[in-house]
Amino acid sequence: MAAPPAESPLILISNDDGIDAPGIRALTAALDGLGELMVVAPAQEQSAVGHAITVRMPVRAHERTMEVPSGTVPAYAVTGTPADCIKLAITQLTPRRPALIVSGINRGPNTAVNVIYSGTVSAATEGAISGIDAMAVSLCKWKAEAAADYEAAGRYARRMAEEILAQGLPPGVLLNVNVPDQPYRDIRGIAITRQARSRWEESFEARTDPLQRPYYWMAGTFVNLDEGDNTDIEAVEGGYVSATPLQLDLTAHDHLQALRKWTW
Ligand code: MN
């Protein structure tokens, strides 16, 4: 890769599908030339680990490179979670403080309650905790077995990364982006949305292992409980890229006063 000018922003790229996932390769290629890129991502898939961190065993960072159209960018495969990757990257691995963290492109939606379980979002959250602008990008591809097409998501990731670099996000706010699984020409634009209310209706497959011991495998059905407007799910279903600002402050501010009136 040709050396970018010294003032070129450093963009740190991570994910939860693992450093060998097609989505992070597509994202890195899509951001080629936008700044100085560095990839620090889990060595193994870490989907649905949420904001887990590794504190009872060491983590290792294996140096490698990732190919982009203009050449290669430095990359590290980390034996930890997405949150570990960001913490390690910004304290040990990056040459300077990143201007932006982009996590993804996740295979599968991170709309609604999925935000809570998502490792993709957590990498971006960790950036926001450290005061670095951050964005999570997910492709709303429901069927995991089919080959995913990350082209549209990559193009929108680049557009939105440019806009964040230009505008800057408010402190404590990260952007959660969900891209419809459609060709770029069919996507209708970007909608600024709120997180839909939803839950998973859990179901467990109960089976028996070869030693005749029972085991359970979590499955479940996603249930959208939100009929309101401007949700992330509604936007994606309508063919829009959903961009939801998320905040670190989970306090239910509207309920502080009512709770203070209880007889404690
Ligand atoms: Mn994932």
pLDDT tens-place string over residues 185-215: 999 999 999 999 999 998 999 999 999 999 9
pLDDT of residue 148: 83
Q: Answer whether residue 258 is part of any domain.
A: no
Output phi, psi for 79, to 5 deg.
Answer: -85, 60
pLDDT of residue 5: 56
**CA–centroid distance, residue 173 to ligand 1 (Å):** 21
- Please state the domain count of the chain: 1
Residue 113 sits in which domain range?
10-197+228-250
**CA–centroid distance, residue 86 to ligand 1 (Å):** 16
Query: What does the alpha-carbon distance between residue 242 and residue 253 come to, in Å, rounded to a whole number?
Result: 25
Mean confidence (pLDDT) of the chain: 95
Q: Answer whether residue 138 is part of any domain.
A: yes
Q: Answer whether residue 215 is part of any domain.
A: no
**CA–centroid distance, residue 6 to ligand 1 (Å):** 33
pLDDT tens per residue across span 26-84: 999 999 999 999 999 999 999 999 999 999 999 999 999 999 999 999 999 999 999 99
Nearest 5°: the CA angle 54, 58, 60 is 100
**CA–centroid distance, residue 135 to ligand 1 (Å):** 15
**CA–centroid distance, residue 150 to ligand 1 (Å):** 14
CA 163 to each of CA 89, 166, 169: distance values in angstroms, whole numbers, following the listed order: 23, 5, 10
State yes or no: pLDDT of 1 exceeds 70: no
**The domain that contains 146 carries what CATH number?**
3.40.1210.10
**CA–centroid distance, residue 254 to ligand 1 (Å):** 32
Q: Answer whether residue 261 is part of any domain.
A: no
**CA–centroid distance, residue 162 to ligand 1 (Å):** 24
**CA–centroid distance, residue 23 to ligand 1 (Å):** 9
Q: Answer whether residue 76 is part of any domain.
A: yes
